[in-house]
Amino acid sequence: MNRHVSFRRVVPAFVAALAVLSLARAGQDEPAATTSQPANEAPPPGRVTGRVTAEAGKTLPEMIVYLESSEPNRRFPAPGEPAVISQKGAKFQPNPLIICVGQAVEFRNDEDRPIEHNVFSRSPARTFDLGLYKPGVDKRVTFEQPGAVRLFCSIHRYMDGMIFVCPTPFFAKVGADGRFDIADVPPGSYRVKTWQARQRFKEQTSDVEVTSGQAAEVAIEMRRK
């Protein structure tokens, strides 16, 4: 009788021990949880902020600050949507227009009267001639080289516009207080550069290192040409 009781007690205990051992081994076989960033996921962007000042309190109208990658072969995708320049009242609007390499521009004839335009440029950064087109029509041009592109109309000689093509999509217009803020910049080494349509000051260049999730502060002092 005692032998049967002892056997009944041992077997369940033995089975329970095997179950615990199996669970322990299964836990060892499972990969450890990780919180590291996936290899194909880009790190969070940073930003470049700062202030532009000019000697003797000079104002900085139409001043642009933009970034150029320190890596010659680094490329950034351009916006999918084209920028727009309207021709109305025989004027280009906006003027100047700031875009980046690889971006397209739609030139729209928005005249209320039956006025034709023929937009063209002979600038080294982009040479084109759109030919005559009527109100309600738009024509598109893609800009693949950085630099200033001056616009004209062969019908209206007083029409004068400007496009500045930045080498990257990272640029900002300087505010009335001289401040600028360039957001969503991928980490890396860049050159901070300036541009103004009227070229009253020497263009300035500064080096900056953008760190993931951080803001890099840059001070720029403009001087007369």
Q: Are 192 and 65 in contact (CB under 8 A)?
A: yes
**Which comes out higher in pLDDT, residue 195 or 72?**
195
The domain containing residue 102 runs over which residues?
46-222
Q: Are 152 and 32 in contact (CB under 8 A)?
A: no
Residue 57 falls inside a structural domain:
yes
Residue 20 falls inside a structural domain:
no
- Ranked by mean pLDDT, the top range of 17-21, 33-37, 44-48, 113-117 is 44-48
Q: Which two tokens stand for residue 155?
A: 């019908």
Residue 101 falls inside a structural domain:
yes
How does pLDDT run across 48-76, given as a tens digit for each residue?
A: 999 999 876 677 878 999 999 999 889 99
- pTM for this entry: 0.80
Residue 106 falls inside a structural domain:
yes
Residue 51 falls inside a structural domain:
yes
E strand or H helix that includes residue 22: helix 2-29
pLDDT at 164 over 50: yes
Work out how many domains the chain is built from and give that number: 1
Residue 17 falls inside a structural domain:
no
Confidence of residue 201 (pLDDT cuts 50, 70, 90): confident
The CATH number given to whatever domain includes residue 136 is 2.60.40.420
Rounded Cα gap, residues 185 and 191, in angstroms: 12
Residue 22 falls inside a structural domain:
no
Residue 74 falls inside a structural domain:
yes
List the beta bridge partners of residue 50: 180, 218
Q: Which two tokens stand for residue 87?
A: 């021709």
Place of tokens 């103004």: 196
